[in-house]
Copies of this chain bind each other. A is one copy, B any other.
Amino acid sequence: MMELPKGTRDFMPEDKILRDDIVKTLKKNFELFGYNPLETPALEMYETLASKYAGGGEILKETYSLKDNADRKLGLRYDLTVPFARVIAMNPQLKMPFKRYQIDKVWRDGPIKLGRYREFWQCDCDVVGSSSMIADAELIALASKVFDDLDLEVTLYFNNRKLLNSILDYCGIKKSVQDDAIISIDKLKKIGFDGVKKELVEKGIADDNVEKIKEVFGTDGSNLENLKSILKNKEGLEEIEKLMNYLKEFKVSGAQLDISLARGLAYYTGTVYEVFLKSSEISSSLAAGGRYDNMIGLLAGKKENVPAIGISFGLDVISDAIKMIKKEKSRKTVVKVFIIPIKAENESVKLLSDLRNSGVNADMDLIGRGISKNLNYANQFGIPFVIIIGEDEIKKGKFKLRDMSSGEEKDLGKEELINFLSES
């Protein structure tokens, strides 16, 4: 019996229609914000994916690799950032800043959990070549607008890795263990301060220093005035202030500073952000990203740093969120009207053609069933309207339009019918 590879899925129309709608909203907004579409192949040279500055050993274990007929080692990409860096490396003529988006599949042969798949989509927007906090602010503004358009209530948290590092300086944490400490502090919301403390102690951080961490993160840590008075290195703070100024100009409301936010990944160098659903039923972030000023330059083999910042939207989790919150809105079909001919095929084809030419998604019976079977078919696919055409209807020049949800029927002339369906 046929089966699917583990961790892969078919998206039947009901799911695919919703996913297409989400992608359309993402695409529209990415373009409004001046990002251009880019497509890279699913297959990359394995060497590119395994590059020293790419995803690293853990992710490489989850990379699908294969050989082509000429025995070259290839791999399926595990993200869209490494291929993007390759594009930057291979196209030195590209004018900077370069803003691109890519909405595409990636593959990871890892453990399958709830909401984790082996073939899944990433929706990435990145700017390369600008250090301006306007770029950081516009990506948060973009996320805000996307979720407004999707009608999802979210909270946007932001922070800055430089700020985090300067706080850890203040707490007496050595540079060499700051990244480790940050990974624990990032879990503050999930595991509480006691959990974080346990991890910090296990990582060999002294009690005094842990107490200082508690002092800053435990109370009103996001008080900028307080931070200003205690921190020596103010670069992170200044970036945060610039960011907040631009967020105001972008009229982003509801974005909050959260000084414990770090976004696990070690490669972030400045601003980081993460978007959560307000309703607590989904705890994964719907979108996240940040500034990574070192990676692209290293990956692309450039001498100087190449500043970059990006955001990634999770198509699966957004789709789950919409399904959960707005059950009534899901469509099973793109078809708006279904024509049932009763010995009137030519006339039906003619009307079908006119409807389509007027922009109405239309279909008709293609196997010569009776009315009740056809109504049943239209009903099961959730097609909102049905038109019945028989000899009588043709003679009168009026067609019977049935609203499948109310059961209401109307007799309409051809033009009225087309106008009604193309407007409703």
Whole-angstrom distance between the Cβ of A377 and the nearest chain B Cβ: 6
Asked if B86 contacts A353 (CB within 8 A), the reply is no
Asked if A69 contacts B109 (CB within 8 A), the reply is yes
Asked if A96 contacts B367 (CB within 8 A), the reply is yes
CB 8 Å contact bits of A21-57 with B (1 = contact, 0 = none): 0000000000111111111111111011001000000
Whole-angstrom distance between the Cβ of A328 and the nearest chain B Cβ: 20
Q: Which of A9, A65, A349 has the most CB of B within 10 A?
A: A349
Q: In residues 38-90 of chain A, which contact B (Cβ within 8 Å)?
A: 38-45, 47-48, 51, 61-62, 64-66, 68-70, 72, 74, 76, 86-87, 89-90
Q: Say yes or no: is A200 at the interface (Cβ < 8 Å to chain B).
A: no
Q: Say yes or no: is A370 at the interface (Cβ < 8 Å to chain B).
A: no
Whether A39 contacts B65 in the complex (CB less than 8 A), given A45-B5, A72-B5, A367-B129, comes out as no
| Among listed A99-107, A157-165, A222-230, A264-272, interface-contacting one | A99-107
Whole-angstrom distance between the Cβ of A280 and the nearest chain B Cβ: 30
| Among listed A133-141, A177-185, A212-220, A388-396, interface-contacting one | A133-141
Q: Say yes or no: is A249 at the interface (Cβ < 8 Å to chain B).
A: yes
| Among listed A10-18, A289-297, A404-412, interface-contacting one | A10-18
Total copies of this chain within the assembly: 2
Q: Say yes or no: is A122 at the interface (Cβ < 8 Å to chain B).
A: no
A72–B13 Cα gap in the complex (Å)? 28
Whether A132 contacts B366 in the complex (CB less than 8 A), given A31-B334, A41-B10, A109-B69, comes out as yes
Q: Which of A9, A109, A131, A366 has the most CB of B within 10 A?
A: A366
A17–B138 Cα gap in the complex (Å)? 22
Whether A134 contacts B364 in the complex (CB less than 8 A), given A10-B41, A68-B5, A69-B109, comes out as yes
A116–B144 Cα gap in the complex (Å)? 42
Asked if A2 contacts B45 (CB within 8 A), the reply is yes
Asked if B10 contacts A45 (CB within 8 A), the reply is no
A15–B13 Cα gap in the complex (Å)? 28
Q: Say yes or no: is A8 at the interface (Cβ < 8 Å to chain B).
A: yes
Q: Say yes or no: is A345 at the interface (Cβ < 8 Å to chain B).
A: yes
Q: Which of A6, A62, A95 has the most CB of B within 10 A?
A: A6
Asked if A34 contacts B2 (CB within 8 A), the reply is no
